[in-house]
Amino acid sequence: MKVLVILLLIVGGVGAFLYFPRGGPGTPATNAATLAILNTTIDGSRAGAAFAPALDGEIYATGDLVRANVDGRAVLTFFDASSLSVDPGSQVKVIALNRLPSDGIQVTIEQTLGRSWSSVQKLKTPDSKFEIKTPSTTAVVRGTAFLTLVQQLPTGGTQTTYQVDDGTLQVTATAGGTVAVPAGTQVTIAEGAPAPANVTPISPSPRLEITGSLGLGFLAVAPTGATCGPAGSKAEVFGCVATSTKIIVRDPAPGRWGLFLTSGTPLGATITVEAFVGTARSALRAISRTISANDLIRSGITLTGGPSLSLSPFEDMTLVNSVCAATAPGRTFASGTLDTRLEAVRTFARDNRGIPVSVIYTEAELNQSIAANAPTAQGVTLNDAKIIIDGGGIHWTAKAATQFITVNASADVIGGPVGDKFTMRVSRLSADPLPPGLLDAVRGLADTSTGAISGTIPFLVKQVSFRNGCLFVSGVTPP
């Protein structure tokens, strides 16, 4: 019998008993930042340790670093829903990250190279703080959206540019002076240079505007895999500012923009997409549909760049069973039994070369599969097993029984692409009591299971994404 990728780890490794110290034991997401990997490869370093491949759902705290290689893109989402998106070739460090007794947040990020996009929630308390430090500046915000670019200079040293799309930054130069940078303006400060007296306007640039009906929840998924929109309050896309009815993206990437639509009540919904160059509108598309309560709908539109931007017709609106099926890139596989779905992916990968593809699993169907198969392994029987999936990974609880002991156990499972292969690890364990000898044995089983998982996805894996209620694994079929 073929075994689902997820069950290979949970059953073969008896995941509830496992503990691999990645991110530090006892570092809860409610006091830290959760990593989402948009495209391989992202490395992480824990409190000065060597860099190692990072996985989607990992927890980062004070002293940890995130590094993106030439292809890597990632997002750190903090416990107050503020986020920091990191572009290829960038390096950021969490200098400080604390939840205050007043339920406020204090964040200090050090960025030594590359480009990031910050979307900061309105800070709740006077003692809250969100700041970015670079070699030449410190920027302090209280709720805004801005780009930070740290560049190497040919003469040595670096310079930092801030571009603000929403709110106001207070930027202090390391060499002295402070300047306010309001929305629509920018400032550049080199190492050793004081803050200028004035800022400059951001030059007119291409712009994408997506407007939805009042009451419509929607997300746009950029060609990079980043999302932005009022559904889930996401603002991962560089240059994106979202309100309850509109998404505005400065300098949008050309390519396919996925669209996810939903509503909690029946709604006659319209979604409009407009492309601008400067103040001149160069393209407009609109589509309407009646949406039933709690429908999840997938669509998309392609933006073509050039002197005059153009927009393709909308893709057909399709009902899907999860937010993952709506936002996953490429040819999606989200239906059929768990085993036949993976076999369908294998057939597709064999017959189609170099094509984007995603395989999707929902929390509900994984729980149904576990209940139906009553998994056991190596003398361990699992009962009352339950899976919950959110942005922090797979959270699993069960009663694990052997001939000698029964343990109420829980574990958090994370995953990601490592060397174009699908990799999973257990990041947190709660299981008491557990004999050391059994722990050692189960660790060996986990190593075997993890190795088996890496070969089960029949395409080059570029992203593993955990969302509320689902997960998807995406990539490209072999060339």
Residue 436's Cβ-count burial label (10 Å; 0-12, 13-18, 19+) is: exposed
**DSSP strand E in 305-405: where?**
310-311, 318-319, 331-333, 356-362, 376-377, 380-390, 393-401
Q: Which residue has the tokens 């309850």?
A: 244
pLDDT, one tens digit for every residue, the chain (479 residues):
233 333 334 433 433 333 333 333 344 556 688 898 888 778 998 878 898 888 888 888 888 999 888 888 899 999 888 999 999 999 999 999 988 888 889 999 999 999 999 999 888 888 899 999 999 999 999 789 999 999 999 989 999 999 999 999 999 999 999 999 999 999 999 999 999 999 999 998 999 999 999 999 999 999 988 999 998 767 899 999 999 999 999 999 999 999 999 999 999 999 999 999 988 999 999 999 999 999 999 999 999 988 889 999 999 999 999 999 999 999 999 998 888 898 999 999 999 999 999 999 999 998 888 777 655 555 666 678 788 999 888 888 877 776 666 777 777 888 888 888 888 877 776 666 655 555 555 555 555 555 556 678 899 999 999 999 999 999 999 99
Question: What is the full DSSP assignment across 275-306?
Answer: EEETTEEEEEEEEEEEE-TT-EEEEEEEEE-S
CATH 2.60.120.1440 fits 29-201, yes or no: yes
State the Cα torsion 474-121-68-169 to the nearest 10°.
150
- Alpha carbons 74 and 38: distance in angstroms, whole number: 5
Could you tell me the residue ranges of all domains in the chain? Answer: 5-17+337-476, 29-201, 206-327
Percentages helix, strand, coil for the chain (3-state, rounded to 5) are: 15, 50, 35
